[in-house]
Amino acid sequence: MKKRILSAVLGIAMVATLLVGCGSGSSDDSSKKDTKTEDTAKDDSGEKTAADYKIAVVPKMTNLAWFERMEQGVDDYNEANGTSVEYCGSPEGDGQAAFVEGLISQGYDAICVVPFDVEALDPVLAKAKEAGIVVICHEASTVENMDYDVEAFDTLEYGAHLMEKINELSDGKGRVIQTVGALTSQSHVEEAQGGKEWAEKNAPDLKVDDQPIVSDDNQDTAYSKVKEALTADTKHEIVGIQCAAMSETPGAAQAVEELGLQGKVHIAGTSLMSVCGEYVEDGTVELMSFWDPALAGQAMIELAVATLNGTVGEDTLSLPVEGYENLTLEGKVYTGSAWIDVDKDNCNDEAYDF
Amino acid sequence: MKQSKWKEILTSNQMFIVYIIVVLCIAISMKTPAFAEVSTIITLARALLVTLCFAICEMVVIISGGIDVSFPAIACASLYIPICVFKENDIDNVVLAFVFAAAIGLVIGIINAVLISLLQIPPLIATLGVSSITQGMLLTFFGTRQISRLPSTIAALNKVYLFTYQSKAGNNYSMTALILVPIILYIVIYIVLKYTMLGRGIYAIGGDANAARIAGFNVVRLQFIVYMFSGVMAGIAGMIYCVLNKAANPLNLMGSEMMIIAAVVVGGTRMSGGHGTVLGTILGVVLIGLIQNNLIMLGVPTYWQTFVVGAVIVVGTAITSLKELAVQKNQKV
């Protein structure tokens, strides 16, 4: 008996949480609608803008710093364009498919989504497409039921970009080690591969190790393994480290700094100012790159508008978002070159402070 | 008489671990001469510092007949919450940070003890649940974002060194002063386990809780002490981890529990409780640490590294088990 009461109470509590969640969401969007300014169609060409459509941007989950930054991007977009694009999602990745399903009946023209679990989401997106909703994805080139996917950059090219910097800093001579979060992490492995291929083609005296170091996406592990590799390298052949995962760049930097190898071993890698800022400021990390989720969010919105206006489908496309001006189309995937480079000189820019 | 004692020592479980360690060291030095330098000890000490702290807690818990898989979550909470609070309120005090961390560990340790000792929930399930709750609360209320700019005096602790060694290749290796924490801890635990009634009681309840109770040990009290100690040390170890990495990350330590349990078991502690030594645990941690941290030097390809670590665990534990079986057979005869 007690158990039954308990389970009933728990059940009610769960339903209540759900309702509260939805309630606050909808009150939110009504308040946003109040502030919506109707006469904001800026362009005189008569082409419709985001203000004329009802668009939602759905992140993988709402409680990650990365997606908080995307929300910022959507807010900025709304402010700059007087639109009321909605940023909404579930706090847990697992709830995303159900959340998107809930959006279908709400009269959206377009849904921009960063899929958490492609297999769970794809059938829901099929329903959205049936309902005539434009579906734009990001970080998910394998989704079937979408109009387009927009990627910040081509991973191979991005890897080559990092290696190019190491080549420049080391005068093209020496050995380079690469780190990846896991050998199963496709983007990391491609990044390393891109770097290695670039070096083979363009820098004959730059020898990149055949196998990358695996860090488990853990700063401490990256630190230990890079330190180990540098210790074993008694002849000081290593001149560069290319890091794929966000946590590896500060890990590698800590190893280089402690061993007193700054200036001799050059680090170029992916990270964020909030994670690696200190080492960028003191110059241990000489190139830190990333893509800005805020801009990715804006690119999704712009791509949704372009799709609704019927101005897409060409091999190339230009969106009015930094880094997404020259998109190339392959299949359904538009790819930009929206990486952002940060070093000692520009790291104090507030725009990168996230 | 004397000869047989020597034989006993040379064929003991712990000596087998020592043999494996020696063989490994020779193999690594042959492959990479840079290994045979003082720098290796410094690097290893730094890499194993936090593991050593966790392992001794786990050992004490296992000896007492329990198991604790919540210490990574406790450590994450104990390093992240103080740093969040400090950043929010502009507090910058090293001592307070460690006291705060220990206090969080103590509270969670008490929860573990209540569940295991008073409610009689199996330790694995209890600590697994507490681990999940702790991690969930941490991520919900304090966020997932790594904090890389620590308050300055806490960050400065990262650069307090006992000495610095310059290797033949010209690299600098500095021994962090925080290594004193596990050293002191191990000495204290060694004395407590060997020479005090408290220590004997922990072995006793692990061997047979009922017999221990009849013999006059307060089982509940001892279990509370064990889990509270484990919580406090996990908290302090978490803060040390944070200082060593110069970053407060609420997730990084998660998942480290199994490797640490493996190190403890390789060191000769029996999962069934009642057996285990401080020296064995040190050897177990060193063996697994040596493997984990020197595969690159050993030239093991990336794809094989996980395999090699697993193989060493299996071989290490198998030796202990085989010896155990041999002893049992002898008893029957």
Residues A96-152 have pLDDT tens digits of 999 999 999 999 999 999 988 888 999 999 999 999 999 999 988 889 999 999 999
Residue range A199-211: average pLDDT? 94
Q: Is residue B13 in some structural domain?
A: no
Q: What is the pLDDT of residue B306?
A: 83
DSSP characters over B136-162: HHHHHHH-S--B-S--HHHHHGGG-EE
A238 and A326: one domain? no
Q: Is residue A98 in some structural domain?
A: yes
A347 and A211: one domain? yes
Are the beta carbons of B148 and A218 separated by less than 8 Å? no
Reply yes or no on whether the pLDDT at B279 is more than 90. yes
A135 and A169: one domain? no
A285 and A312: one domain? no
The model's pLDDT over B149-177, given as tens digits with 9 standing for 90+, comes to 899 999 999 999 999 999 888 899 999 99
Longest dimension (CA), chain B: 70
Q: Which of B249, B294, B302, B304 to mutate to test the interface with A (most CBs of A within 10 A)?
A: B302
A265 and A309: one domain? no
A120 and A164: one domain? no
Of B145, B171, B302, the CB nearest to A230: B171
Most trustworthy range by pLDDT among A85-94, A244-253, B292-301: A244-253
**Which of B58, B33, B96, B75 has the alpha carbon at shortest distance from B263?**
B58
User: Under 8 Å CB-to-CB from A63, ≥6 apart: which residues?
Assistant: A91, B139, B140, B143, B144
A218 and A101: one domain? no
- Pair of tokens at residue A280: 């960028």
**Which of B317, B207, B305, B203 has the alpha carbon at shortest distance from B262?**
B317
Q: Kindly tell me the burial class for residue A171, based on how many C-beta atoms sit within 10 Å of its own C-beta (0-12, 13-18, 19 or more).
A: exposed
Reply yes or no on whether the pLDDT at A207 is more than 60. yes
Confidence of residue A38 (pLDDT cuts 50, 70, 90): very low
Reply yes or no on whether the pLDDT at A6 is more than 70. no
Q: What is the pLDDT of residue A63?
A: 67
Q: Is residue B196 in some structural domain?
A: yes
Share of chain A above pLDDT 90, in %: 63
Strand partners of residue A340: A290
Q: Which domain holds residue A83?
A: 20-146+293-337
Residue A125 sits in a domain whose CATH number is: 3.40.50.2300
Residue range B97-122: average pLDDT? 97
Of B35, B139, B172, the CB nearest to A258: B172
A108 and A32: one domain? yes
Q: Which domain holds residue B118?
A: 39-255
Are the beta carbons of A275 and B47 separated by less than 8 Å? no
Q: Kindly tell me the burial class for residue B324, based on how many C-beta atoms sit within 10 Å of its own C-beta (0-12, 13-18, 19 or more).
A: middle
**Set of chain A residues whose Cβ sits within 8 Å of the Cβ of B84:** none
**Set of chain A residues whose Cβ sits within 8 Å of the Cβ of B246:** 254, 278
Tell me which of A291-300, B13-22, B150-159, B217-226 is least confident.
B13-22
Q: What is the pLDDT of residue B276?
A: 92
Q: Is residue A6 in some structural domain?
A: no
A306 and A231: one domain? no
**Set of chain B residues whose Cβ sits within 8 Å of the Cβ of A223:** 245
Kindly report the average pLDDT of chain A as a whole number.
86
Residue range A87-91: average pLDDT? 89
Confidence of residue A39 (pLDDT cuts 50, 70, 90): very low
Are the beta carbons of B143 and A258 separated by less than 8 Å? no
Gyration radius (Cα) of chain B, Å: 21
Number of domains in chain A: 2
Chain A positions with Cβ closer than 8 Å to B: 63-65, 183, 211-214, 218-220, 223-225, 227-236, 247, 250, 254, 258-261, 274-278
Instruction: Please give, rounded to a whole number of angstroms, the shortest distance from the CA of A233 to a CA of chain B.
Output: 8
Number of domains in chain B: 1
Q: Is A112 left (phi over 0), alpha (psi -120 to 50) or beta?
A: beta
Q: Is residue B264 in some structural domain?
A: no
Residue range B303-328: average pLDDT? 82
Residue range A221-243: average pLDDT? 94
Q: CA B150 to CA B170: how far, in whole Å?
A: 30
A159 and A284: one domain? yes
Share of chain B above pLDDT 70, in %: 98
Q: What is the pLDDT of residue A44?
A: 46
Reply yes or no on whether the pLDDT at B48 is more than 50. yes
Q: Is residue B147 in some structural domain?
A: yes
Reply yes or no on whether the pLDDT at B330 is more than 80. no
A189 and A271: one domain? yes
Instruction: Please give, rounded to a whole number of angstroms, the shortest distance from the CA of A128 to a CA of chain B.
Output: 31
Residue spans of beta strands (DSSP E) within chain A: 55-58, 86-87, 110-113, 134-138, 148-151, 174-180, 206-208, 213-214, 238-243, 266-270, 285-291, 316-317, 327-330, 333-335, 339-342
Q: Which of B30, B84, B148 to mutate to test the interface with A (most CBs of A within 10 A)?
A: B148
Q: Is residue B63 in some structural domain?
A: yes
Q: Is residue B294 in some structural domain?
A: no
The model's pLDDT over B185-244, given as tens digits with 9 standing for 90+, comes to 999 999 999 999 999 999 999 999 999 999 999 999 999 999 999 999 999 999 999 999
A164 and A238: one domain? yes
Are the beta carbons of B34 and A274 separated by less than 8 Å? no
Q: Is residue B193 in some structural domain?
A: yes
Are the beta carbons of B247 and A250 separated by less than 8 Å? yes
Confidence of residue A5 (pLDDT cuts 50, 70, 90): low
Name the closest residue on chain A to residue B247, using Cα atoms: A275
Are the beta carbons of A259 and B173 separated by less than 8 Å? yes
Q: Is residue B26 in some structural domain?
A: no
Q: Which helix (H) or strand (E) holds A18?
A: helix A2-34
Reply yes or no on whether the pLDDT at A42 is more than 70. no
Q: Which of A234, A272, A288 to mutate to test the interface with B (most CBs of B within 10 A)?
A: A234
Q: Is residue A260 in some structural domain?
A: yes
Inter-CA distances, B313 with A75, A215, A258, B44, B292, Å = 52, 20, 31, 18, 11
Name the closest residue on chain B to residue A276, using Cα atoms: B148
Most trustworthy range by pLDDT among A62-71, A212-221, A251-260: A251-260
The model's pLDDT over A276-288, given as tens digits with 9 standing for 90+, comes to 989 999 999 999 9
